[in-house]
Structure 1
């Protein structure tokens, strides 16, 4: 029987896989909740409960608020709010795997913007090809909602801003930055959700348990597992594995929601994943070479 105790790298890979499955399972649960509650209500409750759970896990009361750089925290929180709200609005109109693929262009664009390798044009070309393949040309029965696509691309743009904002010094730890950023995001979405018809029934025990499950699957569990996994994974391994999220999303949507994709859309997912893996590899390789040069010249 295979033991993982003496295989920290393999254990980390398994934890990261569970984290990704958890995130994409939360997407399928959110789509089920859309049948009973407005989309922004689901988004607001997810951020509200996630922020409370993470505040306890990361002991938010230990923050030295005098050190907080609120400009960085607010920009991070706004990006987080936009990413969550727009993504939920996109999966309300699109299959989960398709929405995640369009959204994934955001972080991929950030990586390609900073990459300067000879293979960069190959990854850009593959990403563009993947986007083209996502569209079910001449198949009206599988047509994609253009508003849903716009929401997914908007979520991807917010994801890109989220990455950039998350790299700015916030004066506190990364975990505490996530906590405060999620509170800011919740404060942005909650008033809109209340204005557009958020019902107090969401706090009834029979409904609240589903929202707590959503918060755990979407944030608390994956954040915690990723923190443990990162101790034994390189940035290359982490980035490469995260690249398969569109495929996990598509499988989750197919198994739980019965969302079927065309053959060219599965090919599109494979193309975008390949572009992301390739970009991750060349970026990390360039970073190591730069660090090596810096060491030899210093």
Structure 2
């Protein structure tokens, strides 16, 4: 049952990103970022009292950077490709934390998959270089988000800390969003679609993952999360008409294989040990 909860989280998150893409033509990627983070922060603040400390500030900054650059990336390149590239962040972090040579093999395999995506032609044109760079920056922010989130969790701030970080992220992205979208950001139809994005990309995934992690082993959790690029490709094809070629799908398959291999790299260690803490970081909760 827990596996299906995580799978539902993965699908919900990527379909939320696809719906967010539909906002770009009306309020731009910065506007969509501000709207999604703002509504999600308000939802969390209603449920739990926000807590503010140094850890929440750092996490909020990484959330703003991760979401902002990712949405700018999917405005330029296909959703499945962007998620695949962004996946390098947590995968590389897991290898660095592990310090085992075999884990760098998985990172190399993932890099090979990204290279396959980068050199082939997509719908007759090369991938947008700026979009690829933005996805790589989002990957770096995702790795930082994992570390910041772990620090917040170990500080005992819990959901209140997440609510505080979400409010900080919303405050950081709102000025840029307003500068590009203006009053359009508050039109009823835009707010309704933004609420749907916040539910699919934030509220539902976080709820499902928290429930799943109560009983699911970190390795199993990581294997299911490794399917994210595939879910993104599916959402892009169904909602955005981004039909990937066979070569693209092969590149995504390489990255998924690397993610599964990294997640299964070793058996779970006893709770509380350094090895177990590293296992928790193999493939963490996404943006």
- TM-score higher than 0.5: yes
Aligned to 2:233: 250
The count of residues paired between Structure 1 and Structure 2 equals 275
1:56 aligns to 2:39 (yes or no) = no
Aligned to 2:176: 192
Q: CA separation in 1, counterparts of 2:214 and 2:175?
A: 38
Q: CA separation in 2, counterparts of 1:143 and 1:211?
A: 31
> What does 1:253-268 correspond to in 2, within 5 Å?
253-268=236-251
Q: CA separation in 2, counterparts of 1:30 and 1:292?
A: 38
> What does 1:9-24 correspond to in 2, within 5 Å?
11-24=1-14
Shift, 1:290, TM fit: 10
Shift, 1:256, TM fit: 1.4
1:35 aligns to 2:39 (yes or no) = no
Aligned to 1:178: 162
1:110 to 93, 98, 101: 93
Q: CA separation in 2, counterparts of 1:221 and 1:269?
A: 25
Q: CA separation in 2, counterparts of 1:219 and 1:264?
A: 31
Q: CA separation in 1, counterparts of 2:240 and 2:270?
A: 42
1:73 aligns to 2:56 (yes or no) = yes
1:233 to 213, 216, 223: 216
Could you tell me whether the CA contact under 8 Å between 1:136 and 1:264 is conserved in 2?
A: no
2:138 to 137, 150, 155: 155
Shift, 1:286, TM fit: 6.9
Q: CA separation in 2, counterparts of 1:293 and 1:127?
A: 23
Q: CA separation in 2, counterparts of 1:237 and 1:191?
A: 40
Moved more, 77-86 or 206-215: 206-215
Could you tell me whether the CA contact under 8 Å between 1:39 and 1:89 is conserved in 2?
A: yes
Change (3 A) 1:122 1:94: same
Shift, 1:188, TM fit: 0.8
Change (3 A) 1:71 1:89: same
SS state at 2:130 partner: helix
Where structure 1 has 5 or more consecutive residues not aligned to the other structure, the ranges are: 1-10
Shift, 1:160, TM fit: 0.5
Q: CA separation in 2, counterparts of 1:252 and 1:26?
A: 9
Change (3 A) 1:232 1:270: same
Partner deviation per Cα, 1:18-71 (whole Å, 9 max, x = no partner): 1111100111101111121121111001000000112223x21xx6x5xx5x22
Change (3 A) 1:107 1:133: same
Q: CA separation in 1, counterparts of 2:124 and 2:143?
A: 32
Shift, 1:293, TM fit: 10
Aligned to 2:191: 208
Please report the TM-score for the alignment, with normalisation by the length of structure 1.
0.86
1:217 aligns to 2:164 (yes or no) = no
Aligned to 2:253: 270
Change (3 A) 1:180 1:246: same
Q: CA separation in 1, counterparts of 2:274 and 2:173?
A: 45
Change (3 A) 1:129 1:174: same
1:285 aligns to 2:267 (yes or no) = yes
Alpha-carbon RMSD across the aligned residues, in angstroms, is: 2.3
- Compare CA radii of gyration and give the structure with the larger one: 1
Where structure 2 has 5 or more consecutive residues not aligned to the other structure, the ranges are: 277-287
